[in-house]
Amino acid sequence: MNGPHDLGGAHGFGPVIAEENEPVFHAEWEKRAFALVMAMGYTGAWHIDTSRHARERTPPAEYLASSYYEIWFAGLKRLLVEHGLVSEAEIAAGKSSSPPARLTAVPAEGLMEKLMADGSYERPATAPARFKTGDAVRARVMNPAGHTRLPRYVRGRTGTIAAIRGCHVFPDAHCGSDEEDPRWLYSVAFGSDELWGPQGRAGDDIRLDLWEPYLEPA
């Protein structure tokens, strides 16, 4: 979706301001909100692509006026209600007034090991890769209303396949679904001047990991 999250190349946000000796969390509620998002993810009620999309759907004005964990919290509430796990009224009351859905909480026991476990989004290939390293490709012009990981700033632009990453779970199909629809994933290099014209800089490049359905031969 062409949402407020797709920020590459936007103007007007001012300088990057880094905090000296920044703590990991800035308030107790940030810790709890982070942990709630993680813990609900481990129930298997949804997965990372659905979760990202829930945050992207925060209305633009609200998204840009919110801190990062406020966006996480908004996304979590949205998912809980959409999946029928709690009602708006229950969230407002902070109290359960209906039987719970069948869902198993992740226990503290063994959780560290789960967090550190090797995971992978790579899957066996179902077809040969269409592109090889060095091929010229164009990022397709497309404007899906649903989840996509093809940012606006590269759509229609020409780049070069810099590496093949393997066949990975495809977020556009996976979001809101159990269908992983694995597709070939490529590191694609775009010249800074190709993306930004006179404001770009020859010799600099920008590399994105893009799935095969985002690309066409150039």
Partner 1 sequence: MSDHDHSHLSDMDVRVRALETLLSEKGYVDPAALDVFIDTYETKVGPRNGARVVARVWADADYRKWLLEDAGAAIASFGFTGRQSEHMVAVENTPDIHNMVVCTLCSCYPWAVLGLPPVWYKAPPYRARAVADPRGVLADFGVSLPQTTAIRVWDSTAEVRYLVVPMRPAGTDGWSEERLASLVTRNSMIGTGLALSPEAAA
Closer residue to partner 1 in complex, CB, 135/189: 189
**CB closer to partner 1 out of 106 and 129:** 106
Residue 204: φ, ψ to 5° = -85, 150
Judged by CB under 8 A, the chain residues 87 through 126 that form the site for partner 1 are 90-91, 93-96, 100-101, 103, 105-108, 111-112, 115-122
> Binders of partner 1 among 10-49, rule CB under 8 A?
10-11, 13-19, 22, 24-29, 31-36, 38-40, 42-43, 45
Q: What character string, x for contact with partner 1 (CB under 8 A) and - otherwise, covers 173-212?
A: ------------x-x----x--xx--xxx-xxxxxxxxx-
Instruction: In whole angstroms, give the CA distance from residue 121 to residue 173.
Output: 14
26 vs 126, beta carbon nearer partner 1? 26
Shortest Cβ distance from residue 2 to partner 1 (Å)? 12
Under rule CB under 8 A, residue 61 binds partner 1: no
Q: Near partner 1 by CB under 8 A, which window of 59-67, 125-133, 172-180?
A: 59-67
Q: Tell me how far, at minimum, the Cβ of 128 lies from partner 1, in Å.
A: 20
DSSP letters, 66-123, are: S-HHHHHHHHHHHHHHHTTSS-HHHHHHTS--SPPPS--PPPSTTHHHHHHS----B-
94-130 in b/e form (b: 16+ CB < 10 A) is eeeeeeeeeeeeeeeeeeeeeeeeeeebeeeeeeebb
Q: In the bound complex, what is the minimum distance in angstroms from residue 27's beta carbon to partner 1?
A: 5
- Closest to partner 1 by CB, 68 or 218: 68
Neighbours of 13 (CB within 10 A): 8
Measured in residues, the chain has a length of: 218
CA distances from 191 to 29, 49, 152, 157 (A): 42, 28, 16, 9
Residue list 129-168, contact with partner 1 (CB under 8 A): 149-151, 153, 165, 168
The amino acid occupying position 37 is V
